[in-house]
Amino acid sequence: MRSLITGAGGFAGSHLADYLLAQPDADTEVWGGDRIGQPRPYHPPGLKLLAVDLRDPAATRQLIEHVRPNRVYHLAAQAFVGASWANPWETLETNLRSQVNLLEAIRDVCPDARVLVLGSNEEYGHVAAEDLPVPETHPLQPASPYGVSKVGQDLLGLQYHLSHGLHIVRVRPFNHIGPRQDRKFVAPAFAAQIAAIEAGRQPPVMRVGHLGARRDFTDVRDMVWAYTLALEQGEPGEVYNIGSGRSRGVRELLDTLLSLSSAAIRVEVDPARLRPSDVPDVVCDATKFRTRTGWAPRLPFEQSLKDLLDYERALAGV
């Protein structure tokens, strides 16, 4: 068995590599595609890394020909909603071109491989309070260029299943948190500032954006476990929401992190951190996925934030 993780240098990709390599009965090689192709400090021993830019069709085909995977977890993407506002075309080109190149190579080289395609809860956009929690059948009405790119990836996955018979399972993960997440995202942005304040590298003032939004947060380690279940137990061509089924306020997230620190910290709103469009509340209906696989999150919200803060403290030398 050969598993390939695209975006293996990223947040979820690195945790997925951890999970696959830690399985005691797994007889598998775990390969990772990464733009730099060099191990990062958190990469587990045994991960076989290759440098690749999936926007390049020849390089993508070379990757697939070299690995000839049985399982493909396509996690590589421009994943930051805020960046998609600054440069919409870059997000669309990166996410759509990369997936087309990948699926074309798989179709030609290893058409029997199982492929996981990642959409996002951002595909749903603004959902009325009376329609929460949101099921897979809810209309797709993305409220950001990133959301549009994820609709495209989602439907490309469906099209390659219908047109070419590829074993593709699609998932729409909701927000996930935990160690190693890029500081452009809200939880690590808060945690990194707290760690910097504790280390004496920043005045005791935190800069924050909009605190009124609510999100459905799941620990990244529970999320990557769900990805493996989706690929092994999911129905080809189907799409599954993955999330906790509970929304929490960004204010609650901040207060929980602050409660884990003894530092006296003042909070100030930074207009530069506000988005042109922000969805007020998000709650996942993962009934379809839970019924199919029996999955449920195992790590509590508070543990996710503690582990994240401890990770940022280690980086800050606290």
Look at residue 318 in the predicted model and tell me its pLDDT. Answer: 79
Mean pLDDT, residues 61-73: 98
Q: Could you write out the DSSP letters of every residue in 11-41?
A: HHHHHHHHHHHH-TT---EEEEEESS-S--T
Instruction: Please tell me the least confidently modeled range out of 37-51, 172-186, 267-281.
Output: 267-281
Report the CATH number that the domain containing residue 255 is assigned in CATH. 3.90.25.10
Whether residue 87 has pLDDT greater than 90:
yes
Counted domains in the chain? 2
Question: Tens of pLDDT along 147-158?
Answer: 999 999 999 999
Report the CATH number that the domain containing residue 26 is assigned in CATH. 3.40.50.720
Look at residue 82 in the predicted model and tell me its pLDDT. Answer: 87
Do 9 and 40 sit in the same domain of this protein?
Answer: yes
Q: Are 13 and 7 in contact (CB under 8 A)?
A: yes
Mean pLDDT, residues 270-299: 88
Do 134 and 198 sit in the same domain of this protein?
Answer: no
Q: Which two tokens stand for residue 209?
A: 């954006």
Question: Tens of pLDDT along 4-44?
Answer: 999 999 999 999 999 999 998 767 899 999 988 888 889 99
Mean pLDDT, residues 161-190: 97
Do 211 and 148 sit in the same domain of this protein?
Answer: no
Whether residue 92 has pLDDT greater than 70:
yes
Look at residue 20 in the predicted model and tell me its pLDDT. Answer: 96
Q: Could you write out the DSSP letters of every residue in 132-144?
A: PSBPTTSPP--SS
For residue 122, the 8-state DSSP code is G
Look at residue 26 in the predicted model and tell me its pLDDT. Answer: 66
Mean pLDDT, residues 203-217: 92
pLDDT-above-90 percentage for the chain: 89
Domain of residue 104: give its range: 2-177+219-242
Do 144 and 69 sit in the same domain of this protein?
Answer: yes
Look at residue 276 in the predicted model and tell me its pLDDT. Answer: 62
Do 6 and 101 sit in the same domain of this protein?
Answer: yes
Bond into 271 cis (ω within 30): no
Whether residue 206 has pLDDT greater than 70:
yes
pLDDT-above-70 percentage for the chain: 98
Q: Which of 144, 60, 62, 64 is nearest to 100 (CA)?
A: 60
Phi, psi of 200 (to 5 degrees): 75, 20
Whether residue 273 has pLDDT greater than 80:
no
Between 50 and 271, the more confident residue is 50
Look at residue 277 in the predicted model and tell me its pLDDT. Answer: 55
Evaluate whether residue 226 is within a structural domain. Answer: yes
Residues in Cβ contact with 18 at an 8 Å cutoff, skipping those fewer than 6 apart: 44, 221, 224
Q: Which residues pair with 176 in a beta bridge?
A: 218
Q: Which of 74, 80, 92 is nearest to 148 (CA)?
A: 92
Look at residue 118 in the predicted model and tell me its pLDDT. Answer: 98
